[in-house]
A and B are shown apart, each in its own frame.
Chain A
Amino acid sequence: MFVLAEMKDVIRITPDHFHQSLTDSITTLLNRKLANKVVLNVGVCIALFDITDIGHSYIFPGDGSSHTEVKFRYIVFRPVVEEILIGKIRSCSREGVHVTLGFFDDILIPVNALQHPSRFDETDQAWVWEYPKEDGEKHDLFMDSGESIRFRVTSEAFEESLPSGPPGVECSVQTTAPYRLIGGINEPGLGLLSWWETPDQGDDDNDEQEV
């Protein structure tokens, strides 16, 4: 789920960072610029891994800062399509089940990728897997928020978004998530972890679910 991405950038170091070593200021500035941000077609940046190359530093007329070209590697969250991940259910809605990993929230398991047959329970605001029993009756398995869920990543989507305003200014342009994952749980073994624990005592598990 985590990869190293090699990137290059020109870093502008303002004079107030000159007392630090070049490596230190580059590390600070790269983390300030990238940590917790989505880079288009790369993924969610977590933290700087290492700096592989520091080029020459240049000074331009009229600017006291130094400009340095750096090549670096960054730890990036970018699951492979088809990868199995474990997350927690954030909420359920008519669209499907929203899953969070704590540091990344934009994961949706759409209705057509839930276990079949499933229904949406309006009173509990939760999806329910109607597990068919041998005697023809149905066993309701609720998907409550906060439960751990195992799912397969089926697709990912990057969306280019508008730049946000300067810091401190309230602006509400950003409505779509820049990076979204679509998951699926319509395979045996996927879904709430408690559904598949201790398969020989499956029925006991299901009873706990209902309480």
Chain B
Amino acid sequence: MSTLLTLLNKVYLIYFSINVNAAFLCNFEVMQILQKLKDNTQKKHKREASLATVTYETVHYLQDTECKNQNAKSIQKFLEAMKVYKLTKVEKLMMVNTPPRTELEIQLIVQESEERLSEEQVQEIIALVNKYLPAAHDNT
């Protein structure tokens, strides 16, 4: 029932878009913005139905992803350390959103990873991921 409602809600709008893809946002950034927004709107007692729905659903989704264990500083350090591997922006974004912990996951994220990364480099990346973007159970 709810899926039908959201489907009906999502009508088309033809819009003057200047730049469809101005910048990428990682899951962590979106989570932060939406949570701030949620707190603000609750204070004002004025909640727009569609905004409230989509922020609730998106935060709900993001809470189950790894971004809840991340912080701005460690993401920045991770990206700095990743500079030497000459990966594309999207590949690095995917690594922040879904941190790879196995060689298999790196192969999925990086196109033609066998040619672009040596075996040692793959191991180094996994080590960096575990250092800066540790999984939830590793934190305790």
Q: Which chain A residues have a beta carbon within 8 Å of chain B's beta carbons?
A: 1-9, 28, 31-47, 49, 71, 73, 75, 77-78, 80, 82-86, 90, 100-103, 105-106, 150, 152, 160-161, 163-164, 174, 177-179, 187-190, 196, 199
Q: Name the B residues within 8 Å of A199 (CB-CB).
A: 102, 104
Q: Point out residues on B near A: beta carbons under 8 Å.
A: 3, 6-27, 29-30, 33-34, 37, 46, 48, 50-51, 53-55, 57-58, 60-61, 65, 90, 94, 97-98, 102, 104-105, 107-109, 111
Contact between A174 and B108, CB atoms less than 8 A apart: no
**7 nearest A-B residue pairs (beta carbon):** A103-B57, A102-B61, A36-B54, A35-B51, A6-B19, A36-B50, A189-B104
Q: Which chain A residues lie closer than 8 Å to B54 at the CB level?
A: 35-36, 44-47, 103
Shortest beta-carbon distance from A12 to chain B in Å: 15
A2 and B30 in contact, given A32-B50, A80-B90, A188-B104 (Cβ under 8 angstroms): yes
Q: Which of A77, A102, A163, A188 has the most CB of B within 10 A?
A: A102
The answer to whether residues A9 and B16 also contact, given A86-B65, A179-B10 and a CB cut-off of 8 A, is yes
16 examples of A-B residue contacts, CB within 8 angstroms: A1-B27, A2-B27, A5-B17, A31-B50, A36-B54, A37-B9, A39-B14, A42-B15, A42-B17, A75-B30, A84-B94, A86-B65, A150-B98, A174-B7, A174-B11, A189-B108
In the complex, the answer to whether B94 meets A83 with C-beta atoms within 8 Å is yes
Query: Pick the contact of A40 from B15, B50, B107 — CB < 8 Å?
Result: B15
Which of chain B's residues has its CB closest to A187's CB?
B108
Q: Which residues of A contact B37 (CB under 8 A)?
A: 47
Quick one: which of B7, B14, B26, B60 contacts A106, CB cutoff 8 A? Answer: B7
B8→A164 contact, CB < 8 A: yes
